[in-house]
Amino acid sequence: MRTTYQYQFDPDIKQKLTLNHWLRICRYWYNRQLGDRFDWWEMNRTTVNACPLIVSISAPREKPNYYSQKKQLPILKKDFVKVFHSGDLLDFKQVDSTILQDVSKRVDKAFERSIAGDSKGGRSGKPRFKTEADYRTMTFSTANSDWIKLVRKNWMYVRLPKLGVVKVRMHRSIPDGFTIKQASVTRKVDGWFIQLMLEDASVFRKNLHTPQCFCAIGMKLFSPIVIFENIGMNNIL
């Protein structure tokens, strides 16, 4: 069983600046990957009712996917990345690797939903480039219960990679038996929030038992005709 608990936390000024810079890098990385997929799509597609007048002599490059775009991260971390339109210098080494890998996964899911659609065939439309108001969440996919360093009456101290210990307001405690599997940080209008994905693998094993009551789900209902056939007409008369 999995569930998600959301808590509000209060980072200091330095941590807020770091988180905002991380969001800036993630937003740039998201838009860069999405733009690369759009470029590949425009260069390799052909309309149904017309042939292209200009054909490239070179062989088409490989279609960008989650793994090929994720391989670019070690190269981007070697030096500062300059944003073309603003001239900002972004340092990818400051961001945790799992956050950047999750950005690549989000791009892959958004692009595939627009082409293949969901299980019912419905498409979500063409993905859009993210603005500062659109991209507000970062995910640590390798979170675990060891990240919690201290728990007090109304507070919980969680250590996030490359950020440090943050003070989390614990309005409700984590249930017994649940472990942390993933953590996400979101910037909202009223502050910063952290979502902890909790898992307890033993919940389903506890509920797997043979129903003993007569009114169990899936019980076969017998009609009066079937009862008469089993008893016998001679006994009734």
Which H/E stretch holds residue 228? helix 224-231
Instruction: Note whether residue 34 is domain-resident.
Output: yes
Half-sphere exposure of 138 (CA within 13 A, CB side): 24
Distance CA 186, CA 136 (A): 5
230 and 132 both lie in a single domain = no
- pLDDT for position 118: 64
Quick one: pLDDT at residue 57? 53
Considering the domain architecture, whether residues 23 and 109 belong to the same structural domain is answered as yes
Cβ-contact 136, 179 below 8 angstroms: no
Last residue of a domain, one of 89, 106, 136: 136
User: Contact 26/102 with Cβ under 8 angstroms?
Assistant: no
**CA dist., res. 167 & res. 203, Å (int):** 30
Helix, strand and coil percent figures for the chain, each rounded to 5: 35, 20, 45
- Inter-residue contact 90 to 77 (CB < 8 Å): no
Give me the sign of the Cα torsion angle 200, 201, 202, 208.
positive
Q: Which residues contact 179 (CB under 8 A, 6 or more apart)?
A: 144, 145, 198, 199, 200
Predicted pLDDT at 41: 80
Residue 146 sits in the same domain as residue 187:
yes
How many domains in the chain? 3
List average pLDDT for each run of 10 residues in the chain, which is 237 residues long.
91 94 96 91 67 59 89 93 87 94 93 72 78 94 91 90 93 89 94 93 56 49 44 46
Neighbours of 22 (CB within 10 A): 19
Q: pLDDT at position 11, please?
A: 92
pTM, to two decimals: 0.77
6 part of a folded domain: no
User: Both 47 and 92 in a single domain?
Assistant: yes
**What pLDDT score was predicted for residue 233?**
43
Closest among 215, 193, 132, 233 to 5, alpha carbons compared: 193
The answer to whether residue 7 sits within a structural domain is no
Q: Which domain holds residue 165?
A: 139-202
What is the b/e burial string over 109-122, where b = at least 16 CB atoms within 10 angstroms of the residue's CB? ebbeeeeeeeeeee
In this structure, are 44 and 151 located in the same domain?
no
Last residue of a domain, one of 136, 157, 190: 136
Instruction: Mark whether 130 and 146 lie in a shared domain.
Output: no
Which of the 8 DSSP states describes residue 12?
-
